[in-house]
Amino acid sequence: MSGHSATKIAPSWAGRPPVDDAEATQRIRDAARRCIDRSGVNVRIAEVARELGVSRPTIYRHYASGQAVLLAVALESIEPLRARVASMDVDFRTTPAEMVAEVGCLLFEWLSWDSQLRQLTRFGAGAATDDVTSTAALLLTRGLIERAGASFDAPSDADHLDEIAELVTRLVHSMIERPAVLAHRAGEQCEALRRWITAGVNGILTENAEFVTDPDREQMKPAIRREDGGALRQ
């Protein structure tokens, strides 16, 4: 018997190939979750491939990178929370800032018990996965705010929604990592978080509103006299 024939090759997909792309991507995400449980979010394509019994090119046929796999896992994990946010019973008198604060509190409660999603969305943690975790965190927070139906009546909605999503993401993860000094119970932490988010979002929206003025405002600004006798607008 030759040396080549004696080598045993493991069957692809552990002998159970997926029936379609949907099953393949689901099994890749499930394998990635098991890898995360064992070694955290610093998961490589090679590790996921070994978990499934496939080659790396097989994974790449469905996901462009390891970061893409992690992002897909995060998006799947947040879906139940997205459904909960979509079913929120919001009073018609609720302001956009109050609605965002409620979303922030729901996200805080969810991440407090879902350790895997917390790792996947850990913002600015200083790890090798910062790019994907920061991206996932911001995408998920923004998606939750949009799902809640908060409206931002300003010309640059997208820019300010991104800023609001980052504010909420930073405050939520900060509260999880370092709970408020004067808040000793989870309920108190949520109330503190709600106040902070409401104040922060109101500040962003108020600042934005100050720029939505009469188009002739620029011409109405007082002039500052230059040293050479000319005039500059403030």
204 against 218, higher pLDDT = 204
Q: Inform me whether the pLDDT recorded for 129 exceeds 60.
A: no
Q: What is the pLDDT of residue 221?
A: 42
Record the pTM: 0.69
Provide CB contacts within 8 A for 234, sequence distance 6+.
221, 222, 223, 224
Question: What is the domain partition of the chain in residue ranges?
Answer: 9-63, 73-211
Torsion (CA) 137, 138, 139, 142 in degrees, nearest 10: 120
Q: Inform me whether the pLDDT recorded for 41 exceeds 90.
A: no
Per DSSP, the residues of 145-190 read HHHHT----STTHHHHHHHHHHHHHHHHHHHHHS--TT--SHHHHH
Whole-number Cα distances in Å, 169 to 22, 122, 134, 162, 193: 31, 9, 9, 10, 11
Provide CB contacts within 8 A for 58, sequence distance 6+.
12, 49, 52
- Architecture label for domain 73-211: Orthogonal Bundle (1.10)
- Architecture label for domain 9-63: Orthogonal Bundle (1.10)
Span 130-166, pLDDT tens digits: 555 577 788 888 888 888 874 444 434 666 888 999 9
HSE at residue 66, side-chain half, CA atoms within 13 A, is 20
